[in-house]
Amino acid sequence: MDGTRTSLDIEEYSDTEVQKNQVLTLEEWQDKWVNGKTAFHQEQGHQLLKKHLDTFLKGKSGLRVFFPLCGKAVEMKWFADRGHSVVGVEISELGIQEFFTEQNLSYSEEPITEIPGTKVFKSSSGNISLYCCSIFDLPRTNIGKFDMIWDRGALVAINPGDRKCYADTMFSLLGKKFQYLLCVLSYDPTKHPGPPFYVPHAEIERLFGKICNIRCLEKVDAFEERHKSWGIDCLFEKLYLLTEK
Q: Do 26 and 134 touch, CB atoms closer than 8 A?
A: yes
Where are the domains positioned within the chain? 26-34+42-182
Binding site for substrate, by residue number, is 40
Whole-number pLDDT of residue 119: 96
Torsion angles phi and psi, residue 121, rounded to 5: -110, 125
Binding site, by residue number, is 29-40, 69, 90, 134-135, 152
Whole-number pLDDT of residue 40: 62
Q: Do 229 and 244 touch, CB atoms closer than 8 A?
A: no
pTM score, whole prediction? 0.90
Whole-number pLDDT of residue 127: 97
Residue type, 96: I
For domain 26-34+42-182, the question of CATH label 3.40.50.150 is answered with: yes
Binding site for S-adenosyl-L-methionine, by residue number, is 29-40, 69, 90, 134-135, 152
Q: What is the pLDDT along the chain (245 residues), one digit of tens a residue?
A: 334 433 334 456 666 677 777 777 878 777 777 777 665 656 777 889 988 888 888 889 899 999 999 999 999 999 999 999 999 999 999 999 999 999 999 999 999 999 999 999 999 999 999 999 999 999 888 899 999 999 999 999 999 999 999 999 999 999 999 999 999 999 999 999 889 999 999 999 999 999 999 999 999 998 989 889 889 999 999 999 999 99
